[in-house]
Amino acid sequence: MSEQHKVLFDVISCQNGFAIAVASLNKPKALNALDSDMIALLTTQLLAWKNDASISMVILDSQLDKAFCAGGDVVAMHTAMSENNSEQAPPALQYFFTTEYQLDYLIHSYEKPILVWGHGIVMGGGLGLMSGASHRIVTETSRIAMPEISIGLYPDVGGSYFLNKMPAGCGLFLGLTGASINAADALYCQLADYAIPHANKAGFIKRLRETDWQSDPKVNHLMLFALCRESEDKNVLPKSNLVNYQSLCTDLAAYATVAEVVQHILAMDRSDDNWFSKAQKTLKAGSNITKHLVFEQLKRGRDLSLANCFRMELGMSCHCSTVGEFQEGVRALLVDKDNHPQWLYPSIEAVPLDVIEGFFNSPWSAEQHPLATLGASTGPKTSNKQV
């Protein structure tokens, strides 16, 4: 597939002369896993639409029924790590993470409304695209997760920021367990704004075309908000799993160490609940380095701006590409598929604190950081979320 066909672009004319721009991910064999080509295409087009006075809003969508976006192309990253003979991050990985975070921040700070149709699988890097959109729609089949603990990475793409915006302890629980959540869960933990049945999508787009869009983005945000609310139908949603464990999550937020948090989750006996049992199993089998990273990134990110969270995460991600844990996790899960990663440390307690500290020591000065200018020229956002 040529790089131009990995993302399809369209402009839908509206009745009053304005237009709706649509970007559809189109990489079916990889469930739209993001690569550098796709990131470049999306960034270039979003910037063009940003400056096009005829465009009233943007839709981020997928050509697939099964997935919006299943994450980043970590198999390609594994190849780059395997071929790297330097102690520094492979250039391809640094470039990928830098441009991905720039794209994610662009979506978070976009002045015009951006609507994401989060149907099917939304994981990892897909959540990076979705989390910053001003209007985030989930459907009855939405399946959302940050499963990085199983590959020795951590919830990046702004996870240090948006996981901290959830009800007490929910972000910590989801980051540590990689638990898959449904549409009702996503609404509960503020990863989504509206629930609309997927079968109603064509009718919803028709209503968008008939809307009396204006030149003022603030007015368009309000009109889109009203239209999404009118189109909602929560009767099609599955029951929330996460809400049943809010008391557990609240308890987690009070612990001073990640070892205490993990012990508390694993000690809870809910063998009658397959969803929670699976979360426990993933946590127990996951990378012990990742467990520390999730705990630390949320603690350190709590008081950081979104731009500073991305700056912190870029250093963490580059460091992940040199330590070996990430490479081994991808090998076991997605390359050799033996599902038996040989993690560097056998327990949480065995991970040296200076090893974890190394992930947060930026290799760049503030002036030389690849994301140094992130947010420097961005005005206040007009959507229902604040940067």
Question: Mind listing the pLDDT tens digit for each residue in 13-54?
Answer: 998 899 999 999 999 999 999 999 999 999 999 999 999 999
Mean pLDDT for the stretch of residues 77-99: 95
What is the pLDDT confidence band of residue 2, given thresholds at 50, 70 and 90?
low
CB atoms inside a 10 Å sphere around CB 261: 24
What is the pLDDT confidence band of residue 376, given thresholds at 50, 70 and 90?
confident
The answer to whether domain 3-359 has CATH 3.90.226.10 is: yes
The pLDDT of residue 242 is 97
Beta-strand ranges (E) seen in the chain are 7-13, 19-25, 55-62, 67-69, 114-118, 121-123, 135-138, 143-145, 194-195
The pLDDT of residue 386 is 39
Asked if residue 381 has pLDDT above 80, the reply is no
Asked if residue 211 has pLDDT above 90, the reply is yes
What is the pLDDT confidence band of residue 377, given thresholds at 50, 70 and 90?
low
The pLDDT of residue 87 is 87
Q: Which residue has the tokens 């996870």?
A: 159
Nearest 5°: phi and psi at 210? -90, -5
Mean pLDDT for the stretch of residues 67-95: 95
Question: What pLDDT digit, counting tens, does each position of 137-155 carry?
Answer: 999 999 999 999 999 999 9
List residues bridging with 60 in a β-sheet: 23, 116
Which long-range contacts link 348-352 to residues 24+ away (Cβ below 8 Å)?
348/258, 348/259, 348/262, 348/288, 348/291, 348/292, 349/259, 350/288, 351/288, 351/289, 351/292
The pLDDT of residue 1 is 53
Mean pLDDT over the full length of the chain: 95
Q: Residue ranges per domain, the chain?
A: 3-359
% of the chain at pLDDT higher than 90: 93
CB atoms inside a 10 Å sphere around CB 267: 8
Asked if residue 81 has pLDDT above 90, the reply is yes
Instruction: At 365, list the tokens.
Output: 């000065």
Start-to-end CA distance of the chain, whole Å, equals 36
215, 195 Cβ separation under 8 angstroms: no
% of the chain at pLDDT higher than 70: 96
Mean pLDDT for the stretch of residues 312-331: 97
The pLDDT of residue 85 is 87
Q: Classify each residue of 316-343 as buried b or exposed e, where b means 16 or more C-beta atoms within 10 Å of its C-beta.
A: bbbbbbbbebbbbbbbbbebeeeeebeb
The pLDDT of residue 180 is 97
Instruction: At 251, list the tokens.
Output: 């308890």
